[in-house]
Amino acid sequence: MLPNLTRRALEPAGPSGSAQAPPAPLAAARPVPTPLSGGAPRPTGRLPRSVVLSAAAVDQAASPAAAEDGLGIVALDPNLQAHEEHLRYRWQQYRGTKDAILANERSLADFAKGYERYGVVKENGRTVYREWAPGAAEAQLIGDFNGWEGQPMERDDFGTWSISLPDGAIPHGSKIKIKMRHPGGWWVDRIPAWARWATVPAGKMGAKYDGIHWDPPASERHVWKHKRPGRPDSLRIYEAHVGMSSEEEKVASYTHFKDNVLPRIKKLGYNAIQLMAIQEHAYYGSFGYHVTNPFAVSSRSGTPEELKALIDEAHRLGIVVLLDVVHSHISSNADDGLAGFDLGQPEEANYFKQGEAGYHSQWDSRLLNYRNYETLRYLLSNLRWWIEEYRFDGFRFDGVTSMLYHHHGINIGFSGNYNEYFSPATNVDAVVYLMLANELVHELLPDAITIAEDVSGMPALCRPVPEGGVGFDYRLGMGLPDFWIELLKHVKDEDWSMSTLVGRLCNRRYTEKTIGYAESHDQALVGDQTVAFRLMGAEMYTGMSALQDPSPVIERGIALHKMIRAVTMAYLNFMGNEFGHPEWLDFPREGNGWSYQYCRRQWSLVDTDHLRYKFLNAWDAACLAMDDATGFIASPWQWATLIDDEKQVIVAERGPLVWVFNFSPFNTYEGLQVPVPEPGRYRVALDSDAWDFGGPGRVGHDVDHFTSPAATKEDPSAQYHSRGQFMFVLSPPRTVVAYRKVNEEEVVAKEETLSAYFLSQSK
């Protein structure tokens, strides 16, 4: 539960995802409170200093007043003073771009209604197809509705081609393309840039996609039944891929996910789903990140109406739905996607940058021209489309680091030096787009959630736009999965440093909310390993039966899997990792014989009662239920009160709970002295060692732990704790136990129960 946030406003915070040196070692035992997040200290106990730990917790720092020059963020981080010129220029570019939009459109929100004008739309009782394609010398509309015979389109002065047809001339479900003459003289067929759906002939590997005109009759349209749930106080994200959500070796449907996976997510206690691979992508193996048709729902899993039904059902269950949106690049597949609209025209008339600036060498994809007016219209309209048409509740923006810098982060080891963030290498045009995107999303939907996938740690990425920030609500703590990989691969358990662990978990920027996680889909891909597989390896295939004693490998793996997820909790989980899904993800491709064997989720493993996967699943659900009961994840009260490298123990306060982590592989501590925030009685609230979670049950749950006053600094006879009081607990190896303070009503109830019991025994 010690997420990766750091609260050192006067120091450069290290990047959230780069390979950086570990923090300087601390004393073997450091019993001073270290804040895990923002918030004013409680009056009890002595709090001599303040440094932070926590993940998605809400920072309580006051927001500086919006500044006309965009320098409000400097008040939060004086390190930005040296870069005021860059920040002022960035703000001027943002204001200039927005002013240009407002001069031509009524508002930013109206500018983002491009889908009402472009593509196939209805105007004045007629069907109009309109496309911005300034590179085309000629353009024709073709499809099965006109026998693929080209109907000429007219061009205006801005490079927009259009054709007006009688109402109903393009029936619902028609195949549609635009035929354009390249300036070189040849003709090319392209799917409309604003296509709402695109399909490929079933069973034809490598066949070209067709744009599909999606305009079903009222009787076939989804009718929304449920309101949006609103933003959760504690964000608990379930990262999911619909296509691989079935146990069968096939592409699963939106309907399958709605009927079979949503109930699992709800039962576990997640309140947000992050859906991957929704935007159409011709290559399934790209995991949805080589988007070809940004406005189209992936047809592999069903129709637009079926996706709407999925989201509507999630809303009924109280779950918000986030779209993993890809605006950082576009698939280079010109035949099937947006890249086909680059006909060699200059950048000012192009969705894409040109030359090296327009190509991502590692992703083999095209890079967008964020300075272009029509590119901005297209991307902002895309966000509004998913919010309005499908009722998504927010976005996880993919590949933000690639957008922020002209070098795209390739072969760059971000050290935290502010010169890395504000220099000629910074892509100010992309930053301005992200500012506009966040402003638009929150204007349309105040409860919307936006998350940035950034490994660089750019300052103010998650501060509001009026302050001069980029406007995201959260950033992903991408350095944590890499940290766990390195620790599990290269460091023996008995050598794990608690100081280093806490330092890494604390690594975030003051007042910027970070989502910490131990693993995501990235760590599950072929060539990598999940945390569970790193811990247990091949023994997962033979040693997970609960009908036999666990081997040392399985016992260690299950214990550490629970501890790693608990100490990193913020909270994000990839589908199946909650129960330690074995193996990797591998999409069907030529190299594996187009097999779906590893592109599915084996739910039967957790549903089989005699397998130990159920224990990991139960632990995940219990942690989320505890958050429901106490709100500890988003609580502003977050402190690490004891960091002991010698014992390998961490004590942390999150909300009303006191968490005791014993990472020692061998040592049981009887009478471990645990600092607590308030005097009174404490009882076990959650215990990873309990039988229900696959542990041997060594910790007593019916024991009241009474507090005692802590020693003073001047008293060498006992360990000094700055909290003012402590309690003694039993702490077995490789366990985490959360304690809660017992209120007086519970004390009286317990005493009455005991009195009644002894009275009955005396008769």
For the segment 363-386, the average pLDDT, to the nearest whole number, is 98
Smallest Cα–Cα separation from 292: which of 176, 384, 190? Answer: 190
Q: Using an 8 Å Cβ cutoff, are 681 and 729 in contact?
A: no
For the segment 16-38, the average pLDDT, to the nearest whole number, is 37
* SS3 at position 708: strand
Q: Using an 8 Å Cβ cutoff, are 180 and 343 in contact?
A: yes
Helical residues (DSSP H) of 391-427, grouped into ranges:
400-404
Whole-number Å distance between alpha carbons of 597 and 608: 20
Q: How many CB atoms lie within 10 A of CB 703?
A: 13
DSSP strands (E only) in 41-116: none
pLDDT band at residue 130 using 50, 70 and 90 as cut-offs: very high
Out of 12-16, 271-275, 570-574, 653-657, which region has the weakest mean confidence (pLDDT)?
A: 12-16
In the sheet that 514-515 helps form, which strands lie side by side, from edge to edge? 514-515, 474-476, 449-452, 394-397, 320-325, 272-276, 237-241, 572-574
Place of tokens 């909310």: 513
Smallest Cα–Cα separation from 308: which of 214, 230, 395, 221? Answer: 221
In the sheet that 708-709 helps form, which strands lie side by side, from edge to edge? 669-676, 725-731, 708-709
Q: What percent of the chain has pLDDT over 70?
A: 87
What DSSP string runs through 308-366?
HHHHHHHHHTT-EEEEEE--S-EES-TTTSGGGG-SS--GGG-SB--GGGGEETTTTEE
Beta strand pairing call for 272-276 and 237-241? parallel
pLDDT band at residue 525 using 50, 70 and 90 as cut-offs: confident
Residue 320: pLDDT over 90: yes
CA distances from 669 to 449, 653, 698, 709 (A): 43, 20, 12, 20
pLDDT of amino acid 585? 86
Q: How many CB atoms lie within 10 A of CB 202?
A: 6
Whole-number Å distance between alpha carbons of 356 and 338: 18
Task: Note the Cα 557 to chain centre separation in Å.
Answer: 25
Whole-number Å distance between alpha carbons of 490 and 484: 10
pLDDT band at residue 16 using 50, 70 and 90 as cut-offs: very low
Q: Using an 8 Å Cβ cutoff, are 52 and 34 in contact?
A: yes
pLDDT of amino acid 590? 84
Q: Is 398 a catalytic residue?
A: yes
pLDDT of amino acid 225? 98
Which has the higher per-residue pLDDT, 5 or 341? 341
Nearest-Å Rg of the Cα atoms of the chain is 28
CA distances from 450 to 15, 295, 345, 479 (A): 19, 19, 34, 19
The tokens for 266 are 């709800």
The tokens for 53 are 């730990």
Per the DSSP assignment, residues forming a β-bridge with 515 are 476
pLDDT band at residue 743 using 50, 70 and 90 as cut-offs: confident
Per the DSSP assignment, residues forming a β-bridge with 181 are 138, 187
Catalytic residue among 210, 342, 398, 586: 398
Out of 43-57, 153-167, 570-584, which region has the weakest mean confidence (pLDDT)?
A: 43-57
Whole-number Å distance between alpha carbons of 516 and 507: 10
Burial of 155 from C-beta contacts in 10 A (0-12 / 13-18 / 19+) = middle
The tokens for 563 are 């501890």
Q: Using an 8 Å Cβ cutoff, are 119 and 133 in contact?
A: no
* SS3 at position 139: strand
The tokens for 524 are 């599950």
Alpha-carbon dihedral angle through residues 438, 441, 445, 448, given to the nearest 10 degrees: -60
pLDDT of amino acid 507? 85
Estimate the crossing angle of helix 373-390 against helix 84-104, to 10 degrees.
Answer: 70
638-751: CATH homologous superfamily? Golgi alpha-mannosidase II (2.60.40.1180)
For the segment 611-630, the average pLDDT, to the nearest whole number, is 97
Per the DSSP assignment, residues forming a β-bridge with 675 are 726
DSSP strands (E only) in 154-258: 154-155, 160-166, 175-181, 187-190, 197-199, 210-212, 237-241
Out of 360-364, 474-478, 585-589, 631-635, which region has the weakest mean confidence (pLDDT)?
A: 585-589
* SS3 at position 277: coil
Whole-number Å distance between alpha carbons of 515 and 451: 9
Whole-number Å distance between alpha carbons of 379 and 440: 11
Residues 6+ apart with CB under 8 A from 262: 273, 310, 313, 314, 317, 319
Residues 6+ apart with CB under 8 A from 248: 600
Q: How confident is the model over 89-98, as pLDDT tens digits?
A: 999 999 999 9
Residues 6+ apart with CB under 8 A from 206: none
Residues 6+ apart with CB under 8 A from 144: 174, 175
For the segment 79-97, the average pLDDT, to the nearest whole number, is 97
Residue 434, phi then psi, degrees to nearest 5? -65, -35
Residue 622, phi then psi, degrees to nearest 5? -65, -40
Catalytic residue among 453, 555, 644, 689: 453
Whole-number Å distance between alpha carbons of 167 and 164: 9
Q: Is 687 a catalytic residue?
A: no
Whole-number Å distance between alpha carbons of 722 and 710: 8
Smallest Cα–Cα separation from 431: which of 398, 471, 381? Answer: 471
Q: How confident is the model over 278-288, as pLDDT tens digits?
A: 999 999 989 99
Whole-number Å distance between alpha carbons of 287 and 448: 25
Smallest Cα–Cα separation from 411: which of 374, 372, 361? Answer: 361
Q: How confident is the model over 214-259, as pLDDT tens digits?
A: 999 999 999 999 999 999 999 999 999 999 999 999 999 999 999 9
Out of 36-45, 74-83, 586-595, 686-695, which region has the weakest mean confidence (pLDDT)?
A: 36-45
| Biggest CA pair distance of the chain | 105
Place of tokens 């299950």: 558
Out of 165-174, 461-470, 741-750, which region has the weakest mean confidence (pLDDT)?
A: 741-750
pTM: 0.90
Residue 175: pLDDT over 70: yes
Q: How many CB atoms lie within 10 A of CB 628?
A: 14
What's the length of the chain? 763
Residue 761: pLDDT over 70: no
